[in-house]
């Protein structure tokens, strides 16, 4: 099959699905309730001209933003020459002070991106059975379609974080568009749960110092992952570019290398998985007991970083996990005596080896992968509305 056909077909279908989803969400939210919220169109970069975004833009000072040109394309082309001051993870493997690992040895930071989806509930059952907590990097446009699933994630002790509204590559967006992507997602999660997120993962790991400037102004902590070794590439399964066995074999190899190498295992690692399909859930179902039986301690990101305040303050009050309120730094998290260390423990790295960057291959497949997901969501929303 020609490359163009592979690309164009899902794209075209996804535009229809996005539109159906958007119409449905807007119809649902602008119905009888006077306090109804109209969210931006699902899968699209939110307009910066809406009253909401204009109000958010008034709250932050974006002056002093580094003068870095916007990238183009999905994936963005790597410029022939990039100044080191750009610190572009995808093309330079540069992570600045993004979180790329867990500080303590044998700790596995467990993360799932791109949800919630129709398979998230079955993943929650797996995590419950294995008694482990994870961080979920949520797409805002999905949160408004499955708010109850997001609530369940929180209630079961998992950690919620942002993965933007529309899953676009942030290095191609303006400062104002990045604000719109982040604040709408923040609002969607807050509307669903009452919690304000403070951690985020850039879609495709596509982040440079222009993007970091805006995210930091918004108070976000950026979380990448521990390089290609712990990028499971599970999203390739729905794309038919991998299978459960090839994905789990890759991870087990990486874990064995990690365990055998004293220099690598001086600190923990962060893996990248997705709650996207029955198969990606099956990957988690196999890898979690594998990790536990090989001496790995599985934790959410704030837990592995000893961050006792995994959410942002709202009206001066910081909430811990499971609804425990905290203004003093103690919370429902089982970080014990280490809970006061907070951000100082964050793993930082100015120059991760190139293998630590988000590979361009990762990018392309991942971009295509999102479309079938959205496609699957459209009819579900239609079905719900038809009730």
Minimal CA–CA distance to 168: which of 141, 191, 195, 148? 141
Which of 72-80, 182-190, 259-267, 367-375 is the region at the interface with ligand NAG (rule: CB under 6 A)? Answer: 259-267
Alpha-carbon span 132 to 126, nearest angstrom: 9
272 or 296, CB closer to Zn ion? 272
275 binds Zn ion (CB under 5 A): no
Alpha-carbon span 281 to 273, nearest angstrom: 9
For the segment 110-129, give every residue that binds Zn ion (CB under 5 A).
113-114
Minimal CA–CA distance to 243: which of 205, 282, 272? 282
Alpha-carbon span 173 to 226, nearest angstrom: 25
Binding ligand NAG (rule: CB under 6 A), the pick from 2, 35, 263, 293 is: 263
Residue 60, SS3 per DSSP: coil
As a 3-state breakdown, the chain gives helix, strand, coil percent values, each rounded to 5, of: 50, 10, 40
For residue 114, the partner it binds in Zn ion, ligand NAG, none, with Cβ less than 5 to 8 A by kind, is Zn ion
Which of 2-10, 77-85, 202-210, 244-252 is the region at the interface with Zn ion (rule: CB under 5 A)? Answer: 202-210
For residue 261, the minimal CB distance to ligand NAG (Å) is: 4
Minimal CA–CA distance to 232: which of 159, 284, 295? 284
- Binding to Zn ion by CB under 5 A, coded x per residue (else -) over 41-80, reads ----------------------------------------
- Return all residues near 225 (Cβ < 8 A) that are at least 6 apart: 100, 111, 205, 231, 270, 271, 272
Alpha-carbon span 224 to 18, nearest angstrom: 27
Cα(first)–Cα(last) distance of the chain, in Å? 40
For residue 269, the minimal CB distance to Zn ion (Å) is: 19
Binding ligand NAG (rule: CB under 6 A), the pick from 245, 328, 348, 350 is: 245
Query: Which residues are catalytically annotated?
Result: 113, 274
246 binds ligand NAG (CB under 6 A): yes
30 or 243, CB closer to ligand NAG? 243
Alpha-carbon span 220 to 189, nearest angstrom: 15
Binding ligand NAG (rule: CB under 6 A), the pick from 7, 44, 62, 264 is: 264
278 or 383, CB closer to ligand NAG? 278
The DSSP bridge pattern shows strands 325-326 and 318-319 to be: antiparallel
What φ, ψ does residue 262 adopt, rounded to 5°? -60, -30
For the segment 185-244, give every residue that binds ligand NAG (CB under 6 A).
243
For residue 245, the partner it binds in ligand NAG, Zn ion, none, with Cβ less than 5 to 8 A by kind, is ligand NAG
Q: In what order do the strands lie in the sheet with 107-109?
A: 269-270, 107-109, 297-299
120 or 232, CB closer to ligand NAG? 232
For residue 10, the minimal CB distance to ligand NAG (Å) is: 22
For residue 243, the minimal CB distance to ligand NAG (Å) is: 4
For the segment 302-331, give every residue that binds Zn ion (CB under 5 A).
none
361 binds ligand NAG (CB under 6 A): no
Residue whose Cβ sits closest to Zn ion: 113
Sign of CA dihedral 116, 123, 150, 296: negative
Positions that interact with ligand NAG (CB under 6 A): 243, 245-246, 261, 263-264
Residues in contact with Zn ion by CB under 5 A are 113-114, 203
């Amino acid at each position: 099959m020609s490359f163009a056909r592979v690309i164009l077909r899902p794209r075209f279908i996804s535009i229809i699905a996005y539109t159906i989803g958007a119409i449905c969400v807007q119809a649902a939210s602008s119905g009888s309730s006077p306090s109804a919220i109209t969210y931006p169109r699902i899968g699209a970069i939110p307009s910066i001209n809406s009253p909401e975004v204009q109000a958010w833009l008034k709250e932050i000072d974006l002056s002093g933003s580094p003068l870095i040109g916007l990238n183009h394309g999905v994936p963005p082309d790597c410029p022939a020459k990039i100044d080191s001051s750009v610190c572009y993870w995808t093309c330079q493997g540069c992570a600045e002070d993004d979180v790329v690992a867990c500080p303590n040895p044998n700790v596995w930071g467990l993360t799932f991106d791109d949800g919630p989806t129709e398979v998230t509930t079955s993943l929650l059952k797996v995590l419950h059975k294995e008694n482990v907590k994870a961080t979920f990097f949520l797409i805002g446009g999905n949160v408004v379609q499955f708010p109850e699933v997001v609530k369940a994630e929180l209630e079961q002790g998992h950690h919620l974080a942002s993965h933007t509204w529309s899953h676009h590559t942030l290095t191609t967006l303006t400062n104002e568009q990045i604000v719109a992507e982040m604040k709408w997602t923040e609002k969607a999660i807050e509307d669903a749960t009452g919690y304000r997120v403070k951690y985020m993962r850039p879609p495709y790991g596509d982040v440079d110092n222009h993007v970091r400037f805006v995210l930091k102004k918004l108070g976000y902590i950026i979380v990448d992952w521990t390089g290609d070794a712990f990028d499971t590439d599970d999203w390739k399964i729905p794309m038919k570019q991998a299978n459960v066995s090839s994905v789990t074999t890759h991870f087990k190899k990486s874990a064995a290398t990690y365990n055998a190498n004293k220099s690598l295992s001086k600190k923990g690692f962060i893996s990248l998985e997705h709650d996207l399909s029955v198969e990606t859930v099956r990957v988690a179902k196999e890898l979690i007991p594998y990790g536990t039986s090989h001496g790995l301690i599985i934790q959410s990101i704030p837990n592995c970083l000893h961050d006792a305040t995994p959410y942002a303050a709202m009206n001066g009050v910081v909430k811990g996990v499971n609804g425990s309120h905290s203004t003093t730094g103690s919370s429902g998290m089982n970080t014990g005596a280490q809970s006061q260390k907070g951000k100082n423990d964050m793993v930082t790295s100015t120059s991760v080896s190139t293998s630590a960057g988000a590979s361009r291959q990762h990018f392309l497949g991942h971009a295509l992968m999102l479309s079938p997901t959205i496609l699957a969501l459209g009819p579900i929303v239609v079905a719900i509305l038809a009730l």
